[in-house]
Structure formats: C-alpha cells, structure tokens
C-alpha cells in the first residue's frame, strides 16, 4: 500500500462539501483537517504547518466577489509563504478562478463534483509544493556554500597580458546584460572561471552559478538531469527531482562542453531556450524558467554546423557574444601570477610553509608550452607543493608525471597535435589505460578523452 504523506487543511462553510472532500483525500494524505469558520484559520496555522490548503472564495451568502478568499489567502501567506493554496470556486465562475491564479493561488477546483478532476488538481498542487520546497532548500544550501567558497580574485584571473585585458573589457560590457555568451578555447584555459566572473558581475550574482558538464552526462540521463522528473517517470525515479535548468531560475546557467550534445538533444535544449519553459519527465505541465545562459566548448561550433553536427539555430541562440580564451602559451605574461596564486592556495591547503618559487624554476615554467593550459599548471603546482620539503620550490621538488614534462627550456616540436597525441599515449601507458585516472591526470573529462582517442586513432 502506498505510504501517505502531507498535511491538508480544508476551509469551507459547506459542511457536506467538507465531509466529501475529507473522505476523498484521506486515503492520499497523512492528515486532513476541515474547518467551516474562516476566523479559525490562524488558530490552525499557529498549531502546525500545512503543505496544502483548500480555501473557499466566498463564505457569506450572496457574496460572489471572491474578496473573502483573497483576504484569507493574504493572512495565510503571512504565516507561510510556501504553502500551496487551492481555491474552491462556484461552478462556472471562470473569471474569478483566473483572477485567483493571478493573485498567487496554486490552482482552483469547482464545487461541481468531479472526483477525478478534484483529486488530480489537489495532488498536483501538493507535488508543486514539494517541488518548490526542494528548490528553496537547494537554493538556500547554495547560498550557504557560496559564502564558504573563496573564488579566484578578479586581478589574479585577469592577469597582465594584453589578450586577457581585452577579454575583461568585453566582460565589463556584457556582464550586466542577459545576453547569451559562448566561451571558446582549448581545454584548461579557464572557461568556467570566466563564466563565474561574468555571473559575479551580473544582476543575478546573489544566486549561485548552476554548472552542467554536458560532456559527462549520459544521453539517457540528459532530460532527467536538465529538465527534472516526476516520481515514477522511469524505473529508478523513486522521487520528484528538480532539473538543473529549473534550479537556475533567477540565476545563470553554465553549459560546459556544449559541443558534445547530439542533434536530438540539441533540439530539446533549443526548445527550452526559445520558450523559457521546461516539462519534467513524467509530467505534462510546463514550468516557466528564467535564466541567463553561458555556454562553453573547446570545439569549433562553426565547423560542426558546416558538417551538420550542430544546429545553426541553436548556435545563434547561445552566441549573442563570443569570448575566445587564448591558450596559456599565448599569454605567458600571466604564468607568474597564476603560479604564485596556486602556490599560495595549495600551501595553505596542505599546511606547507612555502612562500616562493625559485627563479630558475619559474624561468622553466615560463618557457614550457603547457598543452594542458591553466589546468595543467594548477595540477603541476599542487603536486609540487605536496612533494616539497623546503620553504621554496625548486625543480628538484617535482616528481614529474607523464602529463607534465619540462624537458629543458623548449619543446622538441611546437606542433600541438603531435605533442597532445604523445602526451595522451604516455599518460595512458602510465595509468595502464585506466580512462578515469588518465583523464584526471590530463585535466580533461572522460568524454573529451574518448574524443581525442578517436581523433588520434589510439
């Protein structure tokens, strides 16, 4: 037998209707309380919290304005802003029912007895209450996390290179708008950091940036993760789930690795972006969403469009403004500040008394090509701090892994593809073809690694 949950309060001056509604709803809810006198509403609210309240719109005979219902709805909201309120309206009073929705009611039922419709409306209202409560809980949790997260300082990210100065001039112009931004660049160049910077300068900065790594989500889970699902929508859907897009309402949605989406999923994403509504799996009701979209990719979407692997209309939707991040080898002026930042970060994390990087070591860091970009530099400095035993870092402190090799002062070849292919081959051997460990060592996700294996026929 299905386990009951939820607490319902029914307020109506018609005693026969109260009895009928209680009989109808008791098998589906843990507690159903009826009340015929609206003045006692506050008494019930002081005694306990309700998930759902069914409220008559007119209590006095001959009054059909609905003002009494609106008055008591305001009183209820003073006690509980989250509770779902379903108005009970006279049969055929459509205008009043529509007005109730505009005033903030969850839904309405009519006094003409349609058992199936009443039950469906009430259960839907209860599920909406639970969903809204979960969204509020997650957003509250996000705010708590946000307060404890130390984001990289503006000046450190900006660096000293002219290329990054130009990018920050663009960011200053677009951040305050809701324009869709596409961030491009090689893996590890800091696309998520730039997305975070745009978000922090936007009018949505009080909410946490909602990030979705599309490269790591299996196609079968895409709709569930992004759109959410209702309980029982599929075999493992044991409860209701709020999708990432719905969670991003009022905030910024960052879609990383957007070039990895299949054409079928691109179509579904385009619909959401155009209509600004989502429909959870297992439901028919569209839910309005309001988010600012930032996307990122290390692929050429224009090339994918030319090859019929990416929708041109979707590209137009996600790329009002494009920001291209240069690889670290093209902004070497920033290596010193980045290296010192990560040195400080990991010295604190691992409780090491390390205060500087030796000049000769910094020189070699500056001359290395960094095919893995900022992500590779960060991993390199983290490992260096862990292995160091002195108060400053030298080259002798490094126990180099295959993905970070400083062979003298310059690379044997400047051909990026040849270097990347060799690094991947070396890393695969070092980690015995363990894809998860190899991808982590290379600073990329597994789907990107698989793409590169296919590209280089490894």
Chain centroid to CA 7: 31
Sequence ranges of the domains in the chain = 7-136, 154-326, 327-412, 416-458
CATH class of domain segment(s) 327-412? mainly alpha
The structure tokens 């690795």 sit at 257
Rounded to 5°, the CA angle 350-351-356 comes to 95
Looking at residue 66, what is its pLDDT? 67
| Per-residue model confidence as pLDDT tens digits over 324-378 | 999 999 999 999 999 998 998 899 988 898 989 988 888 888 888 888 898 888 8
Q: What CATH number belongs to 7-136? A: 3.40.50.2300
Chain centroid to CA 25: 36
| Per-residue model confidence as pLDDT tens digits over 256-267 | 999 999 999 999
SS3 content of the chain, % helix, strand, coil (to 5): 50, 15, 35
Return the percentage of the chain with pLDDT > 90, whole number: 30
pLDDT of residue 455 exceeding 60, the answer is yes
Looking at residue 405, what is its pLDDT? 45
Per-chain mean pLDDT for the chain: 82
**Dist CA 208 CA 253 (whole Å):** 9
| Per-residue model confidence as pLDDT tens digits over 379-417 | 888 888 888 888 888 765 444 443 444 444 444 555 666
The domain defined by 154-326 carries CATH number 3.40.50.300: yes
Q: What is the DSSP string of 340-379?
A: HHHHHHHHHHTT----EE-HHHHHHHHHS--TTHHHHHHH
**Equal CATH topology for 7-136 and 154-326:** yes
| Per-residue model confidence as pLDDT tens digits over 288-315 | 999 999 999 999 999 999 999 999 999 9
| 2-11, 125-134, 141-150, 222-231, range with greatest mean pLDDT | 222-231
Q: Please report, for residues 70, 154, 168, 340, the alpha-carbon distance to residue 332 in angstroms, rounded to integers and kept in the order given.
A: 64, 18, 17, 14
Looking at residue 253, what is its pLDDT? 96
Rounded to 5°, the CA angle 252-258-261 comes to 130
CATH class of domain segment(s) 416-458? mainly alpha
């Amino acid at each position: 037998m299905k386990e009951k949950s939820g607490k319902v309060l029914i307020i109506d001056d018609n005693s026969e209707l109260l009895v009928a509604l209680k009989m109808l709803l008791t098998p589906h809810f843990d507690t159903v309380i009826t009340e015929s006198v609206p003045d006692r509403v506050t008494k019930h609210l002081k005694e306990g919290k309700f998930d759902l309240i069914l409220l008559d719109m007119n209590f006095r005979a001959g009054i059909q304005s609905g003002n009494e219902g609106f008055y008591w709805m305001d009183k209820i909201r003073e006690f509980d802003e989250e509770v779902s309120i379903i108005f009970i309206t006279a049969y055929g009073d459509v205008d009043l029912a529509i007005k109730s929705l505009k005033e903030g009611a969850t839904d309405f039922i009519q006094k003409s007895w349609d058992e199936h419709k009443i039950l469906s409306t009430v259960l839907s209202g209860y599920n909406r209450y639970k969903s809204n409560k979960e969204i509020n809980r997650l957003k509250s949790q996000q705010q708590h996390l946000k307060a404890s997260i130390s984001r990289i300082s503006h000046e450190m990210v900006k660096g000293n290179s002219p290329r990054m100065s130009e990018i920050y001039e663009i960011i200053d112009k677009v951040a305050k708008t809701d324009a869709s931004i596409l961030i491009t660049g090689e893996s590890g160049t800091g696309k998520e950091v730039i997305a975070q910077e745009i978000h922090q300068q936007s009018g949505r900065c009080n909410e946490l940036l909602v990030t979705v790594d599309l490269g790591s989500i299996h196609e079968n889970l895409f709709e569930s993760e992004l759109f959410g699902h209702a309980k029982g929508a599929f075999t493992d859907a044991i409860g209701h789930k709020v999708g990432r897009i719905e969670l991003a309402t009022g905030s910024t949605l960052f879609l990383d690795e957007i070039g990895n989406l299949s054409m079928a999923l691109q179509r579904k994403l385009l619909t959401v972006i155009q209509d600004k509504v989502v429909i959870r799996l297992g439901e028919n009701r569209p839910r309005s969403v309001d988010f600012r979209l930032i996307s990122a990719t290390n692929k050429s979407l224009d090339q994918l469009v030319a090859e019929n692997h990416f929708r041109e209309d979707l590209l137009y939707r996600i790329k009002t403004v494009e920001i291209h991040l240069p690889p670290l080898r093209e902004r070497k002026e920033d290596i010193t500040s980045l290296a010192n930042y990560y040195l400080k970060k990991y010295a604190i994390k691992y409780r090491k008394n390390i205060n500087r990087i030796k000049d000769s070591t910094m020189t070699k860091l500056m001359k290395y090509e960094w095919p893995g970009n900022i992500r590779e530099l960060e991993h390199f400095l983290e490992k260096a701090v862990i292995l160091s035993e002195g108060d400053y870092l030298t080259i002798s402190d490094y126990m180099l892994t295959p993905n970070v090799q400083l062979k003298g002062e310059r690379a044997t070849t400047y051909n990026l593809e040849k270097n990347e292919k060799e690094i991947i081959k070396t890393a695969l051997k070092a980690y015995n073809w363990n894809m998860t460990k190899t991808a982590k060592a290379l600073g990329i996700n597994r789907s990107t690694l698989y793409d590169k294996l296919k590209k280089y026929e490894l």
